[in-house]
Amino acid sequence: MSCVFCRIVAGELPAERVFESERVLAFRDIRPAAPVHVLVVPKAHVESLFELDDRELAGELLLGAAEVARLQGLDRGFRLIANTRHDGGQEVGHIHLHVVGGRRLGPMLAR
């Protein structure tokens, strides 16, 4: 298994897990961009958001992200990011949502 997120899901690589359900796992990003930076991934391998065709899994990812935000105390707000494919900045070929918060976040894109 070469996918780093599949290896984390399988327990082959360490990660600080913050939420888990039957189909979704959330763990802290190793290079956080904010005080709270958690990745939410499906346990089954899906390359990116572009390939996601399972509506139930899509909903579970969003619900998982919302639960992470609640568990991390992000009641003042947070950002949810899904970098998709090369031009979208996706670095790992396994769909993942970034839950980012814990401070006031600036504009998304430089103008």
Rounded Cα–Cα distance for residues 96 and 88 (Å):
13
Kindly name the residue from 37, 86, 94, 96 that is annotated as catalytic.
96
96 is catalytic: yes
Which residues, in sequence order, are CB contacts of 103 under 8 Å at separation 6+? 34, 35
Per the structure block, which two tokens stand in for 103? 């401070």
**Pair 64, 28: CB distance under 8 Å:** no
| The residue to which tokens 């670095």 are assigned | 91
Active site residues: 96
